[in-house]
Amino acid sequence: MAKKKDEESGSEAIATKHSVRCRYCGQKNAVKENYKNNSANCGKCKLPLSNEPHKKWADLSKHEYIHPADSKALAALRAIPGIDTALKKLLEVTGESAIRVTFMASAVKVTPKQCPDLYAKLMIACSTLGVAAPDLYIQQNPIVNAFTGGVEKPIIVLHSALLERLNEEETLAVIAHEVGHIHSEHVLYLTAAQLILAIATIPLASLPIAAILKELLTATMRGALLAWMRRAELSCDRAALLVVQDPHVVGRTMMKLAGGTFASKINYDLFLEQAREFQKNYDVSRLDKFWADIINAGLSHPFPIWRVSEILKWVESGEYDEVMKKA
């Protein structure tokens, strides 16, 4: 009798005796009698099943979470005379249709039938932040990375190496980061910045687009775009946290980005310690110099330790909790 009573009082609206409604995607899942939180995964989105609530925002403003360094760098970028005209011209030449055709032809499009668990994760990120769903693609690529591009209609591309390395929650974190770029209205500037980075690599440097880019965007414009791009990452890591709602999922994702194939052997607590150590020695001007070198080397997401340190700071400042309360 006591056991039965216990079971009844332990059940909530989302969990009946032998079924649990997925807190992320809403799918009802049959579970075994001895089911415990996080001991099974949802059949639809593949995320761990749990009775914990998952919050969503009806009308989340980007200003609730945009990193101040992002706003500042974006203001500096927008203050450059002629930048908007130059970017408009550049994107007219490179064109959204070209971007879409490239991925339609070379990458796998995620749909409710193709990789349905990834599609479900995209829907979770979009419904949590309040963003219209973009197209999502998977591209065979050994570099652990993801990106968002486009002009009017954004697309998100996940590299195969990223999916091979991350667990289900970390994959949601990466998709949510990319959806964050759309929610933060980064896409136009981000596309231009990615074009600059792509052209910095040798195989593309000889293409006509490289000459057009150099003709349309001055060195000042290019530098300001890349400097902003690093800081834009900080806002979207926050967006990722708002979707996964666990700072350590974001932290572990960064650890895998930093540690590559050795990530399974890396101690997460020591990694956090390293992030806190970084925070203590943080020096904006030195970081800027380092950025310039990294950009010259053609890397795009180079600061996992710094990004983790920023996420920890946001959580510890209480600002994250403030945004969560509004969900």
List contacts with Zn ion (CB under 5 A): 22, 24-25, 27, 42, 44-45, 233, 236
| Active site annotation includes 178 | yes
If the CB atoms of residues 91 and 156 are measured against Zn ion, the closer one turns out to be 156
**Alpha-carbon distances, residue 118 vs 48, 109, 152, 154, 162 (angstroms):** 14, 11, 23, 17, 13
Q: Nearest distance from residue 315's CB to Zn ion, in Å?
A: 19
- Out of 178, 233, 319, 322, the active site residue is 178
Report how far residue 141's alpha carbon sits from residue 146's, in angstroms, rounded to the nearest whole number: 10
Q: Nearest distance from residue 155's CB to Zn ion, in Å?
A: 14
Q: Tell me phi and psi for residue 253, to 5 degrees.
A: -60, -45
Report how far residue 218's alpha carbon sits from residue 228's, in angstroms, rounded to the nearest whole number: 15
Q: Nearest distance from residue 131's CB to Zn ion, in Å?
A: 14
Q: Which residue's entry shows tokens 């001895």?
A: 34
Which DSSP helix (H) or strand (E) runs through 4? helix 2-10
**Could you tell me if 9 and 51 are in contact, meaning their C-beta atoms sit under 8 angstroms apart?**
no
If the CB atoms of residues 47 and 200 are measured against Zn ion, the closer one turns out to be 47
Structure tokens at 205: 């440097």
If the CB atoms of residues 112 and 208 are measured against Zn ion, the closer one turns out to be 112
List, as one string, the DSSP characters of 170-235: HHHHHHHHHHHHHHTT-HHHHHHHHHHHHHHSHHHHTSHHHHHHHHHS-HHHHHHHHHHHHHHHHH
Report how far residue 83's alpha carbon sits from residue 62's, in angstroms, rounded to the nearest whole number: 23
If the CB atoms of residues 181 and 252 are measured against Zn ion, the closer one turns out to be 181
Q: Which residues contact 308 (CB under 8 A, 6 or more apart)?
A: 250, 251, 254, 255, 271, 272, 275
Q: Nearest distance from residue 111's CB to Zn ion, in Å?
A: 17
If the CB atoms of residues 141 and 218 are measured against Zn ion, the closer one turns out to be 141
Q: Nearest distance from residue 21's CB to Zn ion, in Å?
A: 9
- C-alpha 290 chain-centroid distance: 23
Active site (catalytic) residues: 178
